[in-house]
Amino acid sequence: MIRRLDVDGVPTLLAPTTGPMHAGLAFRVGLADEPLVKRGITHLVEHLALHSFGVADYHYNGATGVEHTYFHMRGAEADIVKFLNGVCAGLSDLPMQRLPVEKEILRTEENGRAEGATDGLPLWRYGARDYGMPAYPEWGLTGLTPDDLRAWVAHWFTKQNAALWIAGPDVPAGLQLTLPDGERRPAPAPSSALPVRPAFFQGPANVVAWDAVVPRRPAASVFAGVLERALFRSLRQESGLSYTVQTDYDPRGDGTAVLTALADALPERQEAVLGGFLDVLAAVRAGRVDPAEVTAVVNQHCEDFTRADEAGARLPGMAFGLLAGREPQSLETVLAELRAITPGDVAEVGRAAVADGLLMTPGPTAPEWAGYVPAPERSAEAVHGTSYPSLERPDRHLIAGEDGVSAVDPENLVTVRFDRCSGVLAWPDGARRFIGHDGIQVHVEPTLFANGHAVVTALDTRVSPELRIAMPARDPSRIPAPRPPASPAPVAARTGRGVLITLLVILGVVVLLCGGLGLLMSLDAALESEDRGIAIGIAVVSLGLAAGAGYGVYRLTKRLRAG
């Protein structure tokens, strides 16, 4: 039986458990709340708040997610009290002397983190804002100051923006959540970088991935399970095209949920895997849902919820729900809602999901034939301004205007407008990378454009300093230098080459004429007895001239290739 109460003004969920006591303190702040210029600040706060614990005899951890940051501990009551009280104390007085070291730790952590198969989906769906932030590195770490961290904690890590869960018989004695007062912060409204859906973009050659945003409801979680079973049966059991096939259902605080699916592929079988994946989605779009599969998934979900309830594993999700304004549901209510789901409910979710889908194709495969449109990877138009040609390619140029910056070449056009700019990466050598809200980027290497450094100085004055992200200095060998254009050949050299080519043509004609005449005379001498001597003489002279001309052709060809 779950009890709802308050501890020091923090809403709390308490439930008995069959295992050891565990508890967690969650805050409604995550990666989706960070602007690009402060990307990494929540993770840094989490690390600093936990620094004082060092190596402990009990298990504890902290995590920064897309919408929530939480601190969790499993162990004896006294240890839980010490941990949660310590987290609150750490948040109120972050060890700022640790700032340089913790930044390096986070950079090392990020460097060793493997890229996930679905990491590109948020960037293409949302761009460089809110729910697209997980796709970006923690670029903001370098410029974060103690004042930035204190302001972030005061805004987000407050008792009104927190929720506590405890899996145990009662609130442990001595627990004191000394958090400052503040406000409940709702989840951010998701942006969109997709003008049309369903859409696709090209990803790595070894995986197909897909996501969709649907209303949060039990039928949506069941649909995720039904979809996984259909993909597994088609791509692994029947065709043997994939080894890993999985789906995920991730509820969000705004009342929606993100459905994700992926299947791995061998590069040489990528088209077959994509085709099989799309066939399953097409069946979903047509409303073909197997009632037996729905029943199997519902039964599995009921078993999972029952086991989670016994172990207190439902409590974290319910605490996140409190932060979104949702009251906790009893296990009986959850099970009743699941068992009431029909195949029609699941089919309805499936149709909505396919219509909203974003597909990552394996390599250059394109699914326009299935109704998917390319996700935007270039801009519709360039800004008005001054054009600066590339020092390497005459068909490439940079346009710097009052409203934005564009990079233009025959294959591509990308524009970032200053009023829709999420951040500017700034290197000490003058390189700049402008990142738009839609995720499109314009990279400027001043060494590669005429008057490049003057252009960068002008652009810096047109962008808010608050959008500037300081980047570490680059090794000089990594700063690009323009390749010098090929110098035209001198007039004399060009004239001499023309003479050689003319001689080559003349000698080629001589080889053909004299060689042909020599062969005809040789044949005539073999067939006719009269004038045989004359024919042989003509044949010898003609073939000799052809051989000499052929040698001249060989020497001239070799000379032209060398020069």
- Going by C-beta distance under 8 Å and a sequence separation of 6 or more, which residues neighbour residue 538? 517, 518, 521
DSSP designation for 528: -
Q: Which of 124-133, 192-201, 509-518 has the lowest mean pLDDT?
A: 509-518
Q: Identify the band that residue 19 occupies on the pLDDT scale cut at 50, 70 and 90.
A: confident
SS3 annotation, 6-35: EECCEEEEEECCCCCCEEEEEECCCHHHCC
Q: Cis peptide leading into 198, omega within 30 of 0?
A: yes
pLDDT at 498: 67
Write down the residue that tokens 């990494």 correspond to.
Answer: 40
| pLDDT reported for residue 356 | 98
Question: What is the pLDDT averaged over residues 359-381?
Answer: 94
Check residues 348 and 392 and name the one with the higher pLDDT.
348
What mean pLDDT is reported for the chain? Answer: 91
Separation between Cα atoms, residue 552 and residue 511, nearest integer Å: 10
pLDDT at 545: 77
**Which residues is 444 bridged to in the sheet?**
432
Q: Tell me the residue length of the chain.
A: 563
Per domain, the residue ranges of the chain are 3-167, 199-374, 386-474, 493-562
pLDDT at 497: 65
Which amino acid belongs to residue 461? T
- Give residue 117's pLDDT band: very low, low, confident or very high (50, 70, 90): confident
Q: Does 199-374 match 3-167 at the fold level?
A: yes
What pLDDT was estimated at residue 556?
66
pLDDT of residue 56: 61
Q: What is the pLDDT of residues 506-527, one digit of tens each?
A: 877 776 777 777 777 776 666 6
Q: What is the pLDDT of residue 492?
A: 46
The model carries a pTM of: 0.84
252 vs 538: which has the higher pLDDT = 252
Whether 179 contacts 162, CB under 8 Å:
yes
Question: How much of the chain exceeds pLDDT 90, in percent?
Answer: 79
> Taking residues 119-145, what's their average pLDDT?
96
Q: Which of the four pLDDT bands, split at 50, 70 and 90, describes residue 529?
A: low
CB 67 within 8 A of CB 316: no
CB neighbourhood size of 20 (10 A): 15
d(C-alpha 199, C-alpha 214), whole Å: 16
The pLDDT, as a whole number, for residue 436 is: 98
Q: Report the CATH fold assignment for 386-474.
A: PH-domain like (2.30.29)
Nearest to 360 by CA among 434, 260, 457: 260
> How sure is the predictor about 115, in pLDDT bands with cuts at 50, 70 and 90?
confident
* pLDDT tens string 218-259: 999 999 999 999 999 999 999 999 999 999 999 999 999 999
Tell me the pLDDT tens digit for each residue of 256-310.
Answer: 999 999 999 998 999 999 999 999 999 999 999 999 999 999 999 999 999 999 9
* Strand, coil or helix: 62: strand
Q: Which fold has domain 199-374?
A: Cytochrome Bc1 Complex; Chain A, domain 1 (3.30.830)
For the chain, percent helix, then strand, then coil, each to nearest 5?
A: 50, 20, 30
Specify the pLDDT at position 228: 98
CATH number of the 3-167 domain: 3.30.830.10
Lowest-confidence pick of 238-242, 358-362, 407-411, 559-563: 559-563
Encode pLDDT of 55-70 as tens digits: 665 678 999 999 999 9
171-178 mean pLDDT: 95
